[in-house]
A and B are shown apart, each in its own frame.
Chain A
């Protein structure tokens, strides 16, 4: 879309949303502070840094990792990450033999309690279609290599059940503490479209 068309779309949509918001405010059905709070929560307080902490702890604490894999919901709650709508969480572990990737083919269900809101591509029609049909193609589009012998598992999320990938710990991270490890873990590696890169030499 050209930037002119995009501006027009944004102007148009701004009016449409403002119309609904002002109508609901007039009827006393919403209040501005509540709207602002919701925006702040989703824009600033939820994000992949939460999931990264979980991954880092699992890498350094094998007992926590076992609990995480056995009951994701409970193990996340241990770290204070509650699923906001009461959905269950299942954590799936990547290894040299198995690579996991998550999708929501029907809409955009995403483990946002630990990863924040999903990227635009995750919610897009091409991803929703292709992840189910050709996950190796998806990985190629993201520039991620996995060997032909690695089993690839695709997890289709739904409203009641969400997934997060526990990515493989990269080489060169021996002895790193959880805070340092967490800095390496990307949102995309917890979706499964990429791997966690080894720490750079610098």
Chain B
């Protein structure tokens, strides 16, 4: 699929930021995003190829603006909603409750 993710050879994406502090995860949420995705795949709610496809389908402007683990989270939520494991409404209700400090 020739979508935005197919970046080999693309111009205009800027210089490589070669700095590397060798930290695996730069925030806990990144580590948990990784773990949640892998746990759901281990539980066979979706497979790796479908998961990758979910990320490849992200709107191109969003794809370029999201960080790596932000894309992982977006892909995981897309997969879980499409597979009927959760609904978008349930997720947003949970997020709202957290924001209000209720959970």
Tell me the nearest residue of chain A to B27, going by C-beta: A10
Within the complex, what minimum Cβ distance (angstroms) separates B31 from chain A?
5
- How many residue pairs between the two chains, A and B, have CB atoms under 8 Å in the bound complex? 154
Query: Which chain A residues numbered 39 to 56 have a C-beta less than 8 Å away from chain B?
Result: 39, 42-43
Is A128 part of the binding interface, using a Cβ–Cβ cutoff of 8 Å?
yes
Question: Size band of the B side of the interface?
Answer: 35 or more
Tell me the nearest residue of chain A to B34, going by C-beta: A42
Would you call A43 and B32 a contact (CB within 8 A)?
no
**Interface readout for A149-163 with B: 1 if CB under 8 Å, 0 if not?**
000000010010000
Question: Size band of the A side of the interface?
Answer: 35 or more
Within the complex, what minimum Cβ distance (angstroms) separates A36 from chain B?
8
Is B13 part of the binding interface, using a Cβ–Cβ cutoff of 8 Å?
yes
Tell me the nearest residue of chain B to A23, going by C-beta: B94
B55 contacts across to A, CB distance below 8 A: 107
Would you call B35 and A39 a contact (CB within 8 A)?
yes
A36 contacts across to B, CB distance below 8 A: 35
**Interface readout for B87-103 with A: 1 if CB under 8 Å, 0 if not?**
00011001100110001
Chain A residues in the interface with B (C-beta under 8 A): 10, 13-24, 27, 29-30, 34-36, 38-39, 42-43, 85, 103, 105-108, 116-117, 119-121, 123-133, 138, 141-142, 156, 159
